[in-house]
Amino acid sequence: MATTDRFRRPHSYEPLLEKLADKKTGPFATMVEAMMFAAVLGRRKGERVAFEKSDEPIRLALMEGRLYGDVLLDMLAAVEHEDDPKILGNDRQDERVLIFEEYANGGLAHLQTLISRQPHQDLEVIISNLVLEGLRNSPEEKKDDVGEILASASLDW
């Protein structure tokens, strides 16, 4: 059973991850937390993106010690394969890690977009806006920003 006890971080967002977990200015204390946030964000935005190139993987144990850190992978996997309960089986750990990694990658991509859209905004402000938005709105009401903009512009192709 080729299970892994580590998860990968996408190489292309390494600079972003470093910024997010910067000791002085980053909104996250550790890279693990940044990745956890990115994964849930990716899931919420429905952006799961596969990647190949990665940097030094992080031990899963680091995540498991945190509040809900132990169930995060399972939660993401469970909703990803809602008709396949065995996704939570011991032998499918790799698959769950992959889901987590790819959502994290998607989340980071989303963050990167947000940051480049408001380059003068603090990272912390961007993150806390996301948090508050997430806390106040249930996902059902979630709106597609781009779609909304397009709709409001009444673009007639």
Partner 1 sequence: MKLLKLTLRDFRAFYGEQVLDLSVREDKPAVLIFGNNGAGKTTLLNAFGWVLYDTFSDDVEQQHRLIHDKKWEETPFGEEATTWVRLDFEHEGIRFSVSRSVTVNKQTDEQQKVSPSLTVTEVGPDGEAKSVPNGQDRIEKILPKGLRQFFFFNGERMEKMFSGDDNNENEGVKKAIKTLLNLEAIERAIDDLPKASRQLARAIDSKGDTRLKQLTDRQEELAGQAKVEEEDKLRHSAAISAFQKEIESIGRALRQNEQAEPLQKERERLTRRINQEKERLADHKSRKRELLSKHGFLALTGGLDDKVVELADRMRERRQLPAGIQRSFIEDILEEQLCMCGRTVEEGTPEYEEITKRKYNAGLEDVQHRWMHVSGEMRSMSDKRQELLDQFTLNASDIQNADAAISQLEAERSDVDRQLDGVNIQDVKRLVERRKEYGEKETEARVAHRESENRMALIEQELASVARQYKSAVAKNEESRRIQTQVGLVESVRNALIEILAIKTEEVRDQLDKKVKEVFSRIFIKSYIPELNDSFELELRAPSGVAIRSTGENQILGLSFVGAVSEVARSINARKSHADEATIESSGSGVYPVVMDAPFGSLDLTYQEEISKALPALTSQIVTLLSQSQARGHVMENLQHAANRMYVLRTFTPNRAAEEETMEINNRAVPYVSYGEFEHTVLEEVTV
Q: What's the closest the beta carbon of residue 18 comes to partner 1, in angstroms?
A: 15
CA distance 63 to 57: 12
Candidate segments 9-17, 40-48, 113-121, 149-157, binder of partner 1 by CB under 8 A = 40-48
Helix (H, G, I), strand (E, B) or coil at 10: strand
Return the H-helix or E-strand segment holding 22: none
How many Cα neighbours within 13 Å face the side chain of 108?
28
Q: What's the closest the beta carbon of residue 122 comes to partner 1, in angstroms?
A: 11
Asked if 74 and 96 touch (Cβ cutoff 8 Å), the reply is yes
Give the one residue of 1, 2, 67, 155 binding partner 1; rule: CB under 8 A.
Answer: 67
Check residue 61 for interaction with partner 1 (CB under 8 A). no
Q: For residue 137, give the DSSP letter.
A: S
Give the position of tokens 């990115």: 38
Candidate segments 10-18, 52-60, 81-89, 146-154, binder of partner 1 by CB under 8 A = 81-89
| Residues at the interface with partner 1 (CB under 8 A) | 27-30, 33, 36-37, 39-41, 43-44, 66-68, 70-72, 74-76, 78-79, 82, 85-86, 88-90, 124, 127-128, 130-140
